[in-house]
Structure 1
Amino acid sequence: MILLLGPIIGGFLTISNNTWRTTFWFCFAFGALVVIVSFISLPETFRDSKRFDVEEKLPTAAISSATIITAETSSTSVDTATINKNEIQQQETEARKKKVINPLRPILLLCYPHISLTSLAAGVAFAGMFTVKTIVPTLSEQKHHFAWQVSLSYSGAGCGHLLGALINGQLSDRLLLSSRTKRGGRHKVEDRITINIWPCCLIFIPGRLLLFGWSINNNLTYWSAIIGFGIQCFGVNQITSAMGAYWSDAIHPSQAASANAAGVFSSMVLGCCLSLTAPPMIDRIGFGYYSVFLAGLSWLSAGLLLIVKLYGQRIRRHFGFEQNVERKD
């Protein structure tokens, strides 16, 4: 919903007396409001595992000891429990000292082919969408002479994201369970790459890019560009959501957040590179042929996903992720 309303609100803010500065003041006020409401209303979800695990284990040990010892040996058991508690605390202190925070550790997960290939596929989808978003204002002003109406050009993108999120939430789970049922109840991580992803990579995203590019290149109605942008965002939502779930399942559970961070990092880097190179490439070859270039990247990403779909389980087994290899539910 924010993706749908945000550009529209921003378009009207830019034509106010304070021009573009109003947009930043609005974002500051809105962000402050979100922080305050979240701090007051949302419960704390962080769990201090070290603290709670110690407190839970010791009473259990004391109770089990009390059931098998007599009253004469109770003092000995208390001393033993105290010693065990001190040993546990000492081990935790040593482990905490040895633990080194490495912000680059999530990026190292890209060394695993099943993470790097899916990250590239999701990155291509996101980067193509991000690139179009950055050049829409310039193209709309040059081709259709829009002013504040540029914000309405993003309405198709907002509808595409909204519709994609609603459909993907229902469709991906059903397709995942269907694949598991056909396999006799056995779960396979690569089932996350569901069948709805292929039309997005092969048809929706590249078709939309071609529609957007050549409609602007040939000075067609702006509605074709708006509708095309919505179709692309619909497809991108399907791919990025599925890849996020795959990264969480295809790696060790303790590294799920790091795997998602690595995937998002790849998307942002590709988005940065494509958006920076887009203006000079468009000036050189035109947006029509540039859209062919982006469509080709989308078809290439489909090939990367196909490799993971067919050989992902072998890759994971080769790198020792046995706990995530096909299992019986």
Structure 2
Amino acid sequence: MASEETPLLVGVPDIAEPEPHVPMNHDHIYSRFTPWRKRGILTLVSCSGLIPFFVSGTFIPAISQIASDLSTTPEMVSLTISLSIFGAAIGSMAMATYSGFYGRRPIYLASLPFFCLGSYQIAVAQNIYSLIAWRFVQSVGISGGMSLGAGVIGDIYGLEERGFAMGVFYGVSLLGPAIAPVTGGIATHYSSWRMLQWAFLICGLALLMSMALWLPETSHPGSLGVEKTFDQDRSEPRFTLLRRKWGWVWLNPFSSLGLLRSPNLMLVMLAGTAILLTDFVLLVPLAYTIGAKYGITNEALIGAVFIPCGLGNVVGAPLAGFISDRVVHAYRSKRRGEWYPEDRLRTTLIGAATCAPLSVLLVGATVTYVPGRTGLLMCLGLLFLNGIGVDLVLCPSAAYNVDVVHTRSAEIMAANNGSRALLISLLVPLILPSITHFGVLATNAAAALIAWTGLALLALTIRYGEELRGWKDVGYSTVDSN
């Protein structure tokens, strides 16, 4: 019978008195922290996941003001967005890798000062080159928010409660895209883009202090690389062991990408990319589609149009997590306690089949054929539906990734998010040219077809999950280690 047991569930001996490892009860792993302590930890990591989305979302409305202030072109300022995406992808994978060696807490505490330093230097930047360099540093400093947060959730929440916790995490994190554009537009219009950076510096310092005071190390006892190194070297003198435990070790930051050799994980990543693309097709050209159709030209109002999609994310993520937990429990009971990991993905089928593709398709039709206030209200409702639909796919998929490679949860999240971001970055530049040449309806219809392709990939993974896992074992957490 399959179970979520891993070879990492062992006790850690005191370094002063080395003793053989004693196996730790599996249930005890998830009861180390009280429910209230878990909620506090979840709040901290969710805030860390919120900040990168908020920073990137508020930057876009300020592009023209930054270009004017620094005597450069909007195209040069836009270059910082591409470099920040690159920095976030690299940083996320590196932090996920090192968190598996040193622990979640040290990586949080080491990375957040770079975010604060980057925010300060951007606030006082006097030329575009300084802005580009420090925007990269800022992005790297906060890039671990999603991957480390997912890793922490996998550390402290068991199988049948992990989906809801992941949903809350995603819901808070995706609040950033909901409120960032309008916040950035208002702040830029009534104050300055530099004031936003000062605000980010304050937020970064507050989060750093909160992490230092209240975030414990959540990694499972005996699972960290430094602990395994200690186990192998326990014959050496105590001072040498301590020095080695806290010494720097060079690791391959891209090693997490090897997890995508798994057909299951690769298919889920591609499916999530296909569904997430509908979000970008709706939001990236919003000023030229919904804005142009219904006469919305004010930057703050354009930012406000983003809100329904963000609210859909906030509602959809916890809902998706809750449903996926219930589905896992129901199917596990039906199979008399046997766990089939792909059962969690059944929750994604609703969003992939209806909400995400139909919302993008109907927005295209509405913008093309429905004028006036009626058309605008329909579009706002469909944006809300899209936010729910995207989360019905991404949230259970994230929990599934943590379920099946539980020992490398932060790394699989980094590999998944980084690869998805790369694919999206290649597709996004095609959206506006497609709308210009083929129209809104044709472009949105193509996005809907791609989303339905994602549905097929998810259905394939659910149907043949066990067989696909047999093709390539990347260290699945589905077989009892004993």
TM-superposition CA deviations, 1:54-99 (whole Å, max 9, x none): 99x8xxxxxxxxxxxxxxxxxxxxxxxx983449967x969x89x6
Please say if residues 263 and 471 of structure 2, whose CA atoms lie closer than 8 Å, have aligned partners that are also in contact. no
Q: Corresponding residue for 1:311?
A: 464
Q: Corresponding residue for 1:139?
A: 289
TM-score (norm 2): 0.55
Output aligned runs, 1:1-329, within 5 Å: 1-16=175-190, 22=192, 24-42=193-211, 43-46=214-217, 49=224, 84-86=235-237, 100-148=250-298, 149-194=301-346, 196-220=347-371, 221-251=375-405, 253-320=406-473, 324-325=477-478
Q: 3-state SS of the aligned residue for 1:324?
A: coil
Q: 3-state SS of the aligned residue for 2:366?
A: helix
Cα gap change, 1:189 to 1:13, in 2 (>3 Å): same
Percent identity of paired positions between Structure 1 and Structure 2: 19
Q: Distance in 2 between matches of 1:191 and 1:122?
A: 17
Q: Which runs of 5+ in 1 are unaligned?
A: 58-81
Please say if residues 189 and 250 of structure 1, whose CA atoms lie closer than 8 Å, have aligned partners that are also in contact. yes
TM-superposition CA deviations, 1:158-195 (whole Å, max 9, x none): 2201110231232221111111111101112112213x
Q: 3-state SS of the aligned residue for 1:8?
A: helix
Please say if residues 106 and 259 of structure 1, whose CA atoms lie closer than 8 Å, have aligned partners that are also in contact. yes
Please say if residues 342 and 461 of structure 2, whose CA atoms lie closer than 8 Å, have aligned partners that are also in contact. yes
Cα gap change, 1:307 to 1:47, in 2 (>3 Å): closer
TM-superposition CA deviations, 1:129-181 (whole Å, max 9, x none): 12322111222342222123212211211220111023123222111111111
RMSD: 3.2
Relative to its length, the structure with more helix (as a share) is 1
Please say if residues 359 and 383 of structure 2, whose CA atoms lie closer than 8 Å, have aligned partners that are also in contact. yes
Q: Distance in 2 between matches of 1:308 and 1:218?
A: 38
1:13 deviates by: 3.0
Q: Distance in 1 between matches of 2:194 and 2:187?
A: 10
Q: Distance in 1 between matches of 2:377 and 2:386?
A: 14
TM-superposition CA deviations, 1:2-37 (whole Å, max 9, x none): 443333323333433x6xxx2x33431332122111
Please say if residues 156 and 230 of structure 1, whose CA atoms lie closer than 8 Å, have aligned partners that are also in contact. yes
Cα gap change, 1:27 to 1:313, in 2 (>3 Å): farther
Q: Distance in 1 between matches of 2:198 and 2:288?
A: 28
**Which sits farther off after the overlay, 125-134 or 274-283?**
125-134
1:122 deviates by: 0.8
Letter matched to residue 201 of structure 1? A
Please say if residues 262 and 471 of structure 2, whose CA atoms lie closer than 8 Å, have aligned partners that are also in contact. no
Q: Distance in 1 between matches of 2:263 and 2:362?
A: 33
**Which sits farther off after the overlay, 128-137 or 116-125?**
128-137
Please say if residues 187 and 326 of structure 1, whose CA atoms lie closer than 8 Å, have aligned partners that are also in contact. no
Q: Distance in 1 between matches of 2:262 and 2:281?
A: 27
Q: 3-state SS of the aligned residue for 1:295?
A: helix
Cα gap change, 1:306 to 1:137, in 2 (>3 Å): same
1:219 deviates by: 4.6
Q: Distance in 1 between matches of 2:330 and 2:455?
A: 22
Q: Distance in 1 between matches of 2:257 and 2:225?
A: 26
Q: 3-state SS of the aligned residue for 1:186?
A: coil
Cα gap change, 1:130 to 1:235, in 2 (>3 Å): same
Q: Which runs of 5+ in 2 are unaligned?
A: 1-174
Cα gap change, 1:83 to 1:299, in 2 (>3 Å): closer
Cα gap change, 1:88 to 1:116, in 2 (>3 Å): farther
Q: Distance in 2 between matches of 1:105 and 1:112?
A: 14
1:46 deviates by: 4.4
Cα gap change, 1:177 to 1:284, in 2 (>3 Å): same
Q: Distance in 2 between matches of 1:185 and 1:172?
A: 17
Q: 3-state SS of the aligned residue for 2:306?
A: helix
The structure with more radius of gyration: 1
Q: 3-state SS of the aligned residue for 1:299?
A: helix
Cα gap change, 1:282 to 1:324, in 2 (>3 Å): same
Question: How many residue pairs are counted as aligned between the two chains?
Answer: 294
Q: Corresponding residue for 1:77?
A: none
Q: Distance in 2 between matches of 1:2 and 1:150?
A: 16
Q: Corresponding residue for 1:72?
A: none
Q: Distance in 2 between matches of 1:302 and 1:242?
A: 14
Cα gap change, 1:180 to 1:45, in 2 (>3 Å): same
